[in-house]
Homo-oligomer: A and B are copies of this chain.
Amino acid sequence: MPTSHSLYEVFLRVARLASFTAAASSLGYTQSAVSRQIQTLEDEWGTPLFDRLPRGVRLTEAGRILLPHAEAVGERLRTARAELDALRTLGAGRLRIGAISTVDAALLPRALAAFRARHPGVAVTRTEGPSAKHLALLAAGDLDVAVVADTSAEPPGGCTPHHLLDERMYVALPSGHRLAGRTDVRLAELADEEWIAADTRPEETLMHSALAGGFRPRTGFVAADWIAKQGFVAAGLGVTLVPALAASSTRADLALVPLHPDDTPRRRVYAATPRGIAPSPAALAFLALLKEAAAGLAS
């Protein structure tokens, strides 16, 4: 409720105390102020609300009709205040998260578990998909937080990035591959391989950061799904890139060889929030937990 009492609060107090003077001192006003506030209210409603008696006031018929409505209004505003307080203290509200699938291995579940434990009142929804789609949803206001990686060189237009971690990249090879035992590998050594990628255009895939070095992969099969990619590689149909976050959840019959650090920059994984508008309390809290989880994974 507003700190300066509304006309209806004054009305309710006067009705309860049956006196302008008592209501005034009870609300910290002078009697003349209350007198004029009630008069204002009576002008607004076009009818007297109180009978003025020599020993105080009494509700008129019209005032008696208005009374329950004024009480209901006050009650409504009090309820709204309570709900907004709950929102502020993360006892209520909603949080719409979008994330790319590779962060689902450990980063996102960890942050989500912590968030739900601390703020069970917040309704969390989560969507999965590529980075570009989530950034678009974010800009349209249909998402509160997006956890994405810079796959293409696009800067986060319309979004504020919050860096989480840089992850190195691995190459997934069939277990019998000639390079399977290496401690690291250069892209040049893989120039003859066929690559399993999510898109025919390498700019749209995990390869994009490698393109700067002049490397042009030969795209073989196209598979967006993670399981499918692994299947193709295991069957000896090609090789593919694996970000570090997904390394722990690769099938056992694949060999993961780290890419040489000079060949490709680490992939930046970050959370994005809409730019220009203040993140909700829930989004801020979730961001903090994400950074915590990222720090835990990096160590």
Chain A positions 54-87 with a Cβ under 8 Å from a chain B Cβ = 54, 58, 60-62, 65-66, 69-70, 72-73, 76-77, 79-81, 83-84, 87
Is the CB of A28 closer than 8 A to any CB of chain B? Answer: no
Q: How far, in whole Å, are A79 and B65 apart by their CA atoms in the complex? A: 10
Counting chain A residues whose Cβ lies within 8 A of the other chain, the interface size class is 35 or more
Q: How far, in whole Å, are A54 and B274 apart by their CA atoms in the complex? A: 13
A 266-280 binary contact with B (CB < 8 Å = 1; else 0): 000000001011101
User: Which B residues lie within 8 Å of A141 (CB)?
Assistant: 51, 58
- A80 near B84: Cβ-Cβ < 8 Å: no
* A243 smallest CB distance to B (angstroms): 32
- A48 near B83: Cβ-Cβ < 8 Å: no
- A53 near B276: Cβ-Cβ < 8 Å: yes
User: Which B residues lie within 8 Å of A130 (CB)?
Assistant: none
User: Which B residues lie within 8 Å of A87 (CB)?
Assistant: 47, 61-62, 65
- B94 near A61: Cβ-Cβ < 8 Å: yes
User: Which B residues lie within 8 Å of A278 (CB)?
Assistant: 48, 51, 60
Sample 29 A-B pairs with CB under 8 A, ordered by A number.
A2-B44, A45-B81, A45-B84, A46-B88, A47-B84, A47-B88, A48-B278, A51-B276, A51-B277, A51-B278, A53-B276, A53-B277, A54-B276, A58-B141, A60-B277, A60-B278, A61-B87, A61-B93, A61-B94, A61-B280, A62-B84, A65-B80, A65-B87, A65-B92, A66-B80, A69-B77, A69-B79, A70-B80, A76-B76
Enumerate chain A interface residues (CB-CB to B < 8 A): 2-3, 44-48, 51-54, 58, 60-62, 65-66, 69-70, 72-73, 76-77, 79-81, 83-84, 87-88, 92-94, 141, 274, 276-278, 280, 282
